[in-house]
Amino acid sequence: MFFYGSIKYSNISVGVVCFSLAGFFTAIFSPFVNRRKLVVSELLLSLLTLAGIALIFSFDSRYRAGIALGVISSMLGALYTITNERLAHVHESETVTVYSMIGGALGLTVLMPVYVYFFPVKSMIPSWSDFGYLVVLALFCTVLLYMLQTQALNRISAFTVNLSLNLEPVYTIILAILIYHENKELTSTFYLGLGLIILSVVLQMTKVFTESRRAVRDLVS
């Protein structure tokens, strides 16, 4: 809800970039939730992402409400992934996904009357084309995605999963530019901030691959 609210109050590019803060919140929350030591490298990479968000935050005051909603969205997303990391080692990914989707559906159903009260709409029945898009969004972009994410958490950490999602702004912004021509609304400061976010992802992926090779080398030796 906060993620789509962020897009509505800003635009697609700003909304997905704000979601990149999930890595930062994961580095902060995970040591407390999982009762482990704070990993300095994770915190430094997250601060790099935070610097990118700070640059983007300052580029246009019109989008600050959307950015605030996006930050809340990334915080909740980080907590969701951290929780799933613990559940993935105990339950099957299909089981975790079913309960997550049922909980989300019930929660949205309860909140729907409140939303309609403050934001009345002419009709709540989607058109056939909208219904088709909703089916694709529900099955492929939500259920399948979360199931694969839960399976991935058996092998990699919640921090790596969330930081890898920082690549989402790259292809999303490309699509937003091609479809909605959002490049007319974005400045050089925005792209500089985006560059810092991409750099943090590249550094983390390099760290993960290096550690994997070292583990394989130690196993062989």
Do 135 and 106 belong together in one domain?
Answer: yes
Residues 6+ away with beta carbon under 8 Å from 13: 169, 172, 173, 176, 182, 185, 186, 190
Q: What is the pLDDT, as a whole number, of residue 8? A: 87
Q: Which of 73, 25, 30, 65 is nearest to 49 (CA)?
A: 25
Question: Range of 138's domain?
Answer: 91-153
Q: In this predicted model, what pLDDT tens digit does every residue of 63-95 receive, in sequence order?
A: 788 888 988 998 898 888 888 877 877 887 778
Q: Which of 131, 153, 175 is the last residue of a domain?
A: 153
pLDDT value of residue 106: 94
Same domain? For 82 and 168 the reply is yes
11 in the same domain as 76:
yes
Distance CA 57, CA 67 (A): 7
Q: What is the pLDDT of residue 110?
A: 92
pLDDT at 139: 84
The parts of the chain modelled with pLDDT lower than 50 are none
Which tokens go with 9?
A: 């109050």
Number of domains in the chain: 2
Measuring CA to CA, how many Å separate 35 from each of 30, 86, 101, 121, 158?
A: 8, 12, 27, 46, 14
